[in-house]
Amino acid sequence: MTSKIDKKPLIGIVMGSSSDWDVMSNACKILEQFGIPFEAKVVSAHRMPDEMFAYAETARSRGLKAIIAGAGGAAHLPGMLAAKTTLPVLGVPCVSKYLRGQDSLYSIVQMPKGVPVATFAIGEAGAANAAIYAVRMLSMTDDTLAEKLEQFRASQNQAARDMVLPTDD
């Protein structure tokens, strides 16, 4: 999948399986909202190791600025990508069948010194926040994006102020 924007992708979103899509689609939605060109695909560390290495090795020369990688269970994808590229890798622990993503979180966050993966929360919030974080990185050199982030912050503030509890009349 590529974004609807007709430009070279700046962010790569990869996941270990199509079963991660429910979580990782939340990252795609954020990038679409901010108008960031991206690509999204399945690149499995365990089932497609050669393709995973090729993805990491060519990512920078293809123009990507960061990779958002989501995986569940023995979630080696973000760490192995980080081992094979110098781009920032943002890791998203996907919800797993038996341990509800705690295994994914531990697999992604406990990287050895020298090979960083920025690790986000388990599930939907983690995927969305990884994408917002990627937008923040891109905004360092893009004032229009910085302004969009201010508007996003303001709209969240307003939404929280407008929250109504069932007991409010």
Binding residue ranges for substrate: 17, 20, 47
Using the rule CB under 6 A, give the single segment among 70-78, 105-113, 129-137, 151-159 that binds ligand RP5: 70-78
Binding residue (CB under 6 A) for ligand RP5 from 31, 52, 71, 118: 71
Residues 73-92: x/- map of binding to ligand RP5 (CB under 6 A)?
x-------------------
Tell me how far apart the alpha carbons of residues 105 and 138 are, in angstroms, rounded to a whole number.
Answer: 25
Q: Between 102-109 and 77-84, two packed helices, what is the crossing angle to 10 degrees? A: 20
**Number of residues this chain uses to bind ligand RP5 (CB under 6 A):** 11
Q: Are strands 118-119 and 89-93 parallel, antiparallel or unpaired?
A: parallel
Interface with ligand RP5, residue 20, by CB under 6 A: yes
- DSSP collapsed to 3 states, 57-98: HHHCCCCCCEEEEEECCCCCHHHHHHHHCCCCEEEEECCCCC
Query: Please, which residue, 82 or 135, has the CB nearer to ligand RP5?
Result: 82
Burial of 46 (0-12, 13-18, 19+ CB in 10 A): middle
Going by C-alpha positions, the residue among 152, 79, 144 that lies closest to residue 117 is 79
Q: CB pairs under 8 A, 24+ apart, for 162-166? A: none
Q: Which residues are annotated as a binding site?
A: 17, 20, 47
Query: Please, which residue, 7 or 100, has the CB nearer to ligand RP5?
Result: 100
Smallest gap from Cβ 89 to ligand RP5, in A, equals 15
- Give the list of residues 6+ apart from residue 122 with CB closer than 8 angstroms, or none: 93, 94, 95, 100, 101, 102, 104, 105
Interface with ligand RP5, residue 33, by CB under 6 A: no
Interface with ligand RP5, residue 25, by CB under 6 A: no
Residues 102-121: x/- map of binding to ligand RP5 (CB under 6 A)?
--------------------
Binding residue (CB under 6 A) for ligand RP5 from 9, 16, 78, 123: 16
Q: For binding to ligand RP5 (CB under 6 A), which residues are involved? A: 15-17, 19-20, 44, 46, 71-73, 94
